[in-house]
Structure 1
């Protein structure tokens, strides 16, 4: 071991300390350089991250705005679709109502056709019955005019009861004391084709019974013969 009193010892120690110091300075310099590099790298990283985040934020904001736009557009389209669905529902309801009205109209038309057919058949039947009655009237007219001096007149009624064309049967040769004295019965035909006795002059109590019998038998000559007998009986009272 060298003595501490060695005069070169101080220089060597100083040299060693300087060398150590220089190494440490070099190490510190490297550390500082490395730290500076790391700081710059970190700043660049932070800046890059910040730029990326800013870009991402902007992109997200644009995406959010786009989503909001799409959402509003979707809401509008849904509202329009809802209105159209409502309109379609109303149109369907209207179509159903029209279909029901159509079916009801068809049913009414069928009913009217059936009623028309029945009415036509009834009218044809009444026309036939009226023709038969007219033939009976014609026969009765010939018989009574030629053999009994009866006169048939066509008259128009002036009251609601006898409104329309009527026939008036005028009998003569009833009263022996006055052969020209007129005995009259007025009658017509109802809407259903049946005979209607309006009045008689002079009035006959048996007229309703004779009218009912005429309705049952439809025998006008027999009815007129019975009326004549009633007038004769009344003239002799």
Structure 2
């Protein structure tokens, strides 16, 4: 072991210390360099992470804005859809109401057609009946006029209370003492086509009963023959 008094020992020690110091400085420098590199790397990483986060936030904000826009559009479309559904419902109700009105009008038209057909049938029936009655009257007129001296006159009512045409059957050759003396029965036809006895001159008490028989049998010649017979009976009393 070298003595501490040896000058070389001091130099060696100093040299060794310097070498250790240099190594430590080198190591410290490497540590500093590594730390600096790590700090720079960390700053770059943090900056990159921050940039990524900022970009992500912006992207998220854009996405959220789109979501809000889509939500607003969806709400507007839903509101429009509800309005359209309401309008469609109102139109359907109106269509249903129109269909009901249409069915009601069709039923009324059909009812009017049926009533018109019935009226037409009744008019035709009354027309045929009146033609038959006219033919019957003409035949009766010829018979009574040629053989019994009866005259048929047509009279028209002059008042509102006594409407329509009426016929007067004037019988002569009734009274033995005066063959020209007139015995008169006035009659008309009701709306339903039946005969209506208005009056007789002179008055026959049995006229209502004869009228009932006429309405039942519709036999005008027989009715006139009975009226003539009653006039003859009354004239001979």
TM-score by length of 2: 0.83
For 1:75-224, list aligned pairs within 5 A: 75-158=75-158, 162-176=162-176, 179-224=179-224
Name the structure 1 match of 2:22: 22
The structure, 1 or 2, with the larger RCO (C-alpha pairs under 8 Å, 6+ apart) is 1
Tell me, in whole angstroms, the C-alpha distance in 2 between the residues paired with 1:25 and 1:184: 169
Structure 2 unaligned regions, length at least 5 = none
Size of the aligned set, in residue pairs, is 237
Deviations 1:94-143 (A, max 9, x none): 33333343344344444433333333333222211111100111112122
Give the 3 Å change call, closer, same or farther, for CA 142–4 of structure 1 in structure 2: same
CA-atom RMSD in angstroms: 2.7
SS at match of 2:126: helix
Stretch deviating more after TM superposition (87-96 or 189-198) = 87-96
Tell me, in whole angstroms, the C-alpha distance in 1 between the residues paired with 2:30 and 2:126: 137
Give the 3 Å change call, closer, same or farther, for CA 21–230 of structure 1 in structure 2: farther
1:197 deviates by 2.2
Tell me, in whole angstroms, the C-alpha distance in 1 between the residues paired with 2:21 and 2:208: 162
Structure 1 unaligned regions, length at least 5 = none
Stretch deviating more after TM superposition (162-171 or 177-186) = 177-186
Tell me, in whole angstroms, the C-alpha distance in 2 between the residues paired with 1:89 and 1:11: 112
Tell me, in whole angstroms, the C-alpha distance in 2 between the residues paired with 1:200 and 1:19: 175
Tell me, in whole angstroms, the C-alpha distance in 1 between the residues paired with 2:216 and 2:67: 95
1:209 deviates by 1.8
TM-score by length of 1: 0.83
